[in-house]
Structure 1
Amino acid sequence: MIITRTPFRMSFFGGGTDFPEFYQQHGGAVISTTFDKYCYLTVRHLPRFFDYTSQIVYARTESVKSVDEIEHPAVREAMKYLDMRELRITYDADLPARSGLGTSSSFAVGLLNAFYALKGKYADKRKLADDSIYLERVLCAESGGVQDQIAASFGGLNRIRFGSGGYDVEPVIISPERKKKLNENLMLFFTGFSRFSSDIQKGTQAAIKDKTKNLLDILGLVDEAYRVLTSKTDLNEFGRLLDYTWKLKKGIESKISTDGIDILYDKAIKAGALGGKLLGAGGGGFLLFYVEADKKESVREALDGLLHVPFEFENGGTKVIHYSPEIYEFK
């Protein structure tokens, strides 16, 4: 039996510049972090006492006699990719799917990590990131960028740069005290809405050619935010930059925000938040705000209809947290 734990991520700056259609021509970069909310994948070989050969338990339960019958695209394609058979796969998570936190990519990374471990093979973080990008973007043909898979694999607070030659993961060098203050000044709220990010990503992908200027402006903010984090600049500037990048992002695709999201955002700003953004592709999920300590209660009251989710940054990325290898012979 293998159990993996893979963190979710929040992306601060650069979203949209991680689309190959953009970064292969202009370069791209994001600043993101993983945090202490995770998805868990338990994978083991299924005993041969049943009239099905594999079972997958997530929001629903699939019991199938062949891999081709599996309806969950990532599970089906990952099992084919690594020649996995006769499995019982169970998924659990701290936060809901389709909520803007890179949950589908964390699932893909954790699943591949578990598969490699079950086969007795070591896969490093870059291998897991590359394979999960290939799984989601090629084998499953889902639209989107490539930052989520990298963040979930590597973990930590990073600037990730993209170019025609690939990507580089650069940890943001920041003092523990400053990093703690940043963490404390961020507030996360669940809007209660959820959506399939790939549906919105298709619109973003289609708009890239027409919105190149917006994306170049968004890209420029990555270096500016990195300078704020790694210098003695007032950390509140990070919050103001979040507000600016959110306004730029809304200009890319109409489905990124909604009237309801805009109302909630304005309430938080009026209550004292310096800036914020909707996490992920857009349309719903989690709202993130930068709020000074003395304004937190006001913001919480202004958004009293939303669930506030406290969190702490994490640095580990995906991990195998239980490893009991099995001797198993296929029929």
Structure 2
Amino acid sequence: MIISKTPFRVSLFGGGTDFPDWFLENGGEVVSMSIDKYCYISVRKLPPFFDHIHRIVYSRIENVKDVNDIQHPVVRALLKKYYFKGLEIHHDADLPARSGLGSSSAFTVGLIKALSAKKGKLITKKQLACDAIDLERNILKENVGLQDQIAVSYGGLNNIKFHKNFDNNFVVNPIPISNKILEELNSSLLLVFTGISRFSSVIQGDTLAAIKKNYSNLSEIAKIAKIGLKKFIDQDGDIINELGLLLDETWQLKKKLSTSVSNNLIDDLYNLAKKNGAIGGKVLGAGGGGFVLLVAKKENIDALKKAMSKFVVVPFNIDNTGSVVSYYQPDRDY
């Protein structure tokens, strides 16, 4: 059996500029981090005692005789690519899917990592991200950006740049921060679950369809990403307060990208958080539901948690490992 462990990600700045529709003309960059909440994929040889050939367990259970009958698109595509026969695949996760944390890409990356290990191959972080991008965008034709696959493959707090002449030519620059700043970040950030799960590809499709109309807003989002990066690099001033204010500014711009990005529940949650100690924040991912990221001073975190008590509140820390094989045991022969 092989178990891969892949972190979810929190996108801070620059979301939207990681779509080819944007960066191939303008260039793009994001600031994002992986967190200590994970997607786990276990893969093992299925013992030859069953009528089915493959067993896939996620939010549903699939027992199939032919790979073409697999309903999960990522699993079906990857089992075809790697030519495996007779596997049992289980998915478990610390947080719900379709919630703005890059869970779909974490699943894809984690399964590629596990299947590569099953083939006896070491795969680099860059190749892992590129394979996931190729699968999601080119094979499955999903409306996804490129930051998620990279963020969860590499891990850590990073500045990811996308060039106009993109040919898998992205650059990942780890952002060095002091232990003091790291402790402040880990103590000042919260995830709040709206209770709404949604398919980000649909919302992002609306945003992409109006990308020319959104040019000025995306340009401002790109500028804020550069300012946010500089704040992390300089590490002076009140970085938590400045981070919160920049996220708030980003959120106001993001809401203008599509009417699907926010709704009354999200607006009410965010306004309540601002009244109870939150400096700023934003909905993660495409929007429309999922998790809201909130920033507050350490001394205000408890009051903010109390105000958010009717929602599921998730504290977290930054993860620095990226996707890894956390368990490896060769399958038994039968």
TM-score, normalised to structure 1, is 0.97
Distance 1:326 1:308 in 2: 39
Return the offset for 1:303.
1.7
Q: Deviations over 1:253-287 (max 9, x none)?
A: 11011111001101111112110001111010111
Q: Please tell me whether the aligned partners of residues 144 and 205 of structure 1 are also in contact (alpha carbons under 8 angstroms).
A: no
Return the offset for 1:319.
0.4
1:287 aligns with 2:276: no
> Residue 44 of structure 1 aligns with which residue?
44
User: Where do 1:120-269 residues align within 5 Å?
Assistant: 120-163=120-163, 164-165=165-166, 166-231=169-234, 232-235=236-239, 236-269=241-274
Counterpart amino acid of residue 282 in structure 1:
G
Distance 1:82 1:277 in 2: 39
Distance 1:125 1:158 in 2: 14
Return the offset for 1:310.
1.4
Q: Please tell me whether the aligned partners of residues 278 and 296 of structure 2 are also in contact (alpha carbons under 8 angstroms).
A: yes
Which sits farther off after the overlay, 79-88 or 312-321?
Answer: 79-88
Return the offset for 1:328.
6.8
Distance 2:330 2:206 in 1: 43
**Helix, strand or coil at the partner of 1:300:** helix
Return the offset for 1:298.
2.5
Return the offset for 1:324.
1.9
User: Where do 1:10-89 residues align within 5 Å?
Assistant: 10-89=10-89
**Helix, strand or coil at the partner of 1:254:** coil
Counterpart amino acid of residue 29 in structure 2:
A
Return the offset for 1:228.
1.1
Q: Please tell me whether the aligned partners of residues 120 and 325 of structure 1 are also in contact (alpha carbons under 8 angstroms).
A: no
Which sits farther off after the overlay, 10-19 or 40-49?
Answer: 40-49
Return the offset for 1:48.
1.6
Distance 1:318 1:9 in 2: 11
Distance 2:233 2:16 in 1: 23
> Residue 318 of structure 1 aligns with which residue?
323
Distance 2:224 2:285 in 1: 17
Q: Please tell me whether the aligned partners of residues 184 and 298 of structure 2 are also in contact (alpha carbons under 8 angstroms).
A: no
Distance 2:91 2:309 in 1: 31
> Residue 277 of structure 2 aligns with which residue?
272
**Helix, strand or coil at the partner of 2:278:** coil
Distance 2:118 2:153 in 1: 18
Return the offset for 1:78.
1.0
Counterpart amino acid of residue 301 in structure 1:
K
Identify unmatched segments of 5+ residues in structure 1. Answer: none
Distance 1:80 1:133 in 2: 17
Q: Deviations over 1:84-122 (max 9, x none)?
A: 221100010111101110000000000000000001111
Counterpart amino acid of residue 312 in structure 1:
N
Distance 2:142 2:332 in 1: 35
Q: Please tell me whether the aligned partners of residues 44 and 88 of structure 1 are also in contact (alpha carbons under 8 angstroms).
A: yes
1:92 aligns with 2:92: yes
Q: Deviations over 1:189-231 (max 9, x none)?
A: 1111111111111111212122111111101111100111121
Q: Percent identity?
A: 49
**RMSD (CA atoms):** 1.3
Distance 2:305 2:111 in 1: 36
User: Where do 1:99-114 residues align within 5 Å?
Assistant: 99-114=99-114
Counterpart amino acid of residue 238 in structure 2:
D
Q: Deviations over 1:21-56 (max 9, x none)?
A: 100110011111011100100001112211111010
Return the offset for 1:297.
2.6
Distance 1:240 1:84 in 2: 49
Q: Please tell me whether the aligned partners of residues 136 and 142 of structure 1 are also in contact (alpha carbons under 8 angstroms).
A: yes
Return the offset for 1:327.
7.5
**Helix, strand or coil at the partner of 1:52:** coil
Q: Deviations over 1:56-87 (max 9, x none)?
A: 00000000011100000000011112222211
Identify unmatched segments of 5+ residues in structure 2. Answer: none
Return the offset for 1:326.
4.0
Distance 2:14 2:84 in 1: 36
Counterpart amino acid of residue 294 in structure 1:
E
Paired residues, number: 329
Which sits farther off after the overlay, 255-264 or 80-89?
Answer: 80-89
Distance 1:47 1:300 in 2: 47
Q: Please tell me whether the aligned partners of residues 228 and 234 of structure 1 are also in contact (alpha carbons under 8 angstroms).
A: no
